[in-house]
Amino acid sequence: MKNFSLLVVFLSQTIFCQSSLTTNIDGRKTVSLNGDWQIIIDPYENGYYNYRYEPSDWGYFKNQKPRTKSDLVEYDFDKSETLKVPGDWNTQKEKLFLYEGTIWYKKDFDYYLEKGKRLFAYFGAANYKAIVYLNGNKIGEHEGGFTPFNFEITNLVKEKDNFLIVKVDNKRSREFVPTVNTDWWNYGGLTRDVILVEVPSTFIKDYFIQLDKNSKNEISGWIQLYGEKLKQNFHIKIPELQEGFSISTDESGFCKFNFKAKPVLWSPENPKLYNVLVETETDTVTERIGFRRIETKDANIFLNGKPIFLRGISAHEEAPLRGGRANNEEDARIILNWVKELNGNFIRLAHYPHNEKIVRLADELGILIWSEIPVYWTILWDNEQTYLNAQNQLTEMINRDKNRASIILWSVGNETPLSNERLIFLKKLTERVKELDNTRLITAALENHYINDSTIVIDDPFGEYLDVIGLNEYLGWYDGLPDKADRVNYQTKYNKPIIVSEFGADALQGFYGDSLTRWTEDYQVNVYEHQVKLMKRIPNLRGMSPWILMDFRSPRRPLPGIQDFYNRKGLISNKGIKKKAFYILRDFYTGIEKNSW
Ligand code: GCU
Atom 10, ligand 1: residue with shortest CA distance: 183
Across 52-181, the runs of DSSP E, i.e. the strands, are: 82-85, 102-109, 117-123, 129-134, 137-143, 149-152, 162-169
Q: What is the pLDDT of residues 323-374, one digit of tens each?
A: 999 999 999 999 999 999 999 999 999 999 999 999 999 999 999 999 999 9
- 6 band by pLDDT with thresholds 50, 70 and 90: very low
Identify the three-state secondary structure at position 391: helix
Q: How far is the CA of 506 from the centre of ligand 1 (A)?
A: 11
The mean pLDDT of 439-468, rounded to a whole number, is 96
What pLDDT shows up at residue 10? 41
**In whole angstroms, what is the distance from residue 69 CA to residue 144 CA?**
42
How far is residue 64's CA from residue 439's CA, in Å, rounded to a whole number? 51
From 20-34, 164-178, 278-292, 462-476, the region with the lowest mean pLDDT: 20-34
Q: Are the C-beta atoms of residues 551 and 519 closer than 8 Å to each other?
A: no
Higher model confidence: residue 300 or residue 595? 300
pLDDT for the residue 70: 97
Q: Containing H/E element for 516? A: none
587: enclosing H helix or E strand: helix 580-595
| Omega before 263 within 30 of 0, i.e. cis | no
What is the predicted pLDDT for the residue at 326? 98
Q: Name the residue among 569, 557, 561, 448 with its Cα closest to residue 183.
A: 557
Looking at residues 519-539, what average pLDDT do you find?
98
pLDDT at 244: 73
Each residue's pLDDT tens digit, 227-259: 999 999 999 999 998 767 888 999 999 999 999
Residue 91 has pLDDT above 90, yes or no: yes
Cβ contacts of 61 within 8 Å, gap of 6 or more: 47, 104, 131, 133, 136, 138, 165, 167
Alpha-carbon distance values, 200 to 280, 288, 382 (Å):
11, 21, 43
Q: How sure is the predictor about 7, in pLDDT bands with cuts at 50, 70 and 90?
A: very low
Give the C-alpha separation, 493 to 47, whole Å: 55
Q: How far apart are CA 115 and CA 157, in angstroms?
A: 12
Residue 386 Cα to ligand 1 midpoint, Å, equals 22
Name the more confident of 383 and 16.
383
* Per-residue pLDDT tens over the stretch 72-90: 999 999 999 999 999 999 9
Confidence of residue 380 (pLDDT cuts 50, 70, 90): very high
CA distance linking residue 22 with residue 28, whole number of Å = 10
Q: pTM value?
A: 0.96
**Whole-angstrom Cα distance, residue 261 to residue 241?**
8
Cα–Cα distance between 435 and 19 in angstroms, integer?
A: 14
Identify the burial level of 49 via C-beta atoms within 10 angstroms of its C-beta, where 0-12 means exposed, 13-18 middle and 19 or more buried.
Answer: middle
- Does pLDDT of 94 surpass 60? yes
For 192-264, list the strands marked E by DSSP: 194-200, 203-211, 218-226, 233-238, 243-248, 254-260
Give the mean pLDDT of the chain. Answer: 95
Taking CA atoms only, the protein residue closest to ligand 1 atom 3 is 183
Closest ligand 1 atom to the C-alpha of 377? 8
Angle subtended at Cα 473 by Cα 472 and Cα 475, rounded to the nearest 5 degrees: 170
Distance CA 275, CA 285 (A): 11
* 119-162 pLDDT per residue, tens: 999 999 999 999 999 999 999 999 999 999 999 999 999 999 99
pLDDT band, residue 597 (cuts 50/70/90): confident
% of residues, the chain, pLDDT over 90: 93
User: Of all protein residues, whose CA lies closest to atom 9 belonging to ligand 1?
Assistant: 183
Q: What is the DSSP letter of 575?
A: T
d(CA 173, CA 189) in angstroms, rounded, equals 17
Chain segment 179-208, per-residue pLDDT in tens: 999 999 999 999 999 999 999 999 999 999
Minimum-distance ligand 1 atom for the alpha carbon of 414: 8
Q: What is the mean pLDDT of residues 545-570?
A: 98
Closest CA to 440 of 258, 293, 274, 268: 293
The DSSP code for 316 is -
**Percent of the chain whose pLDDT exceeds 70:** 96
* DSSP character at residue 80: S
Res 2: pLDDT: 40
Using one digit for the tens of pLDDT, what is the confidence trace for 574-586?
A: 999 999 999 999 9
Instruction: Over range 539-563, report the average pLDDT.
Output: 98
| 12 pLDDT above the threshold of 60 | no
Nearest atom in ligand 1 to the alpha carbon of residue 182 is 9
pLDDT score for 22 = 85
Q: Which of 444, 180, 523, 192 is nearest to 329 (CA)?
A: 192
- Give the mean pLDDT of 453-477: 97
Q: Is 481 exposed, middle or buried (0-12, 13-18, 19+ CB in 10 A)?
A: middle
Count other Cβ atoms within 10 Å, centred on residue 248.
Answer: 11
List the beta strands (DSSP E) in 290-364: 294-297, 300-303, 306-307, 310-315, 346-349
556 C-alpha to ligand 1 centroid (Å): 11
Mean per-residue pLDDT, 380-405:
98
Q: Tell me, in angstroms, the distance from the centre of ligand 1 to residue 396's CA.
A: 25
Query: Quick one: pLDDT at residue 16?
Result: 57
Q: Does residue 381 carry a pLDDT above 90?
A: yes
Helical (H) or strand (E) element with 328 = none
Residue list, ligand 1 pocket, CB within 6 Å:
183, 351, 414-415, 472, 502, 547, 567, 569
Scanning 448-572, the segments in alpha helix (DSSP H) are 521-535
Cα-to-centroid distance, 540 and ligand 1 (Å): 23
- CA dist 389 and 140 (Å) reads 16
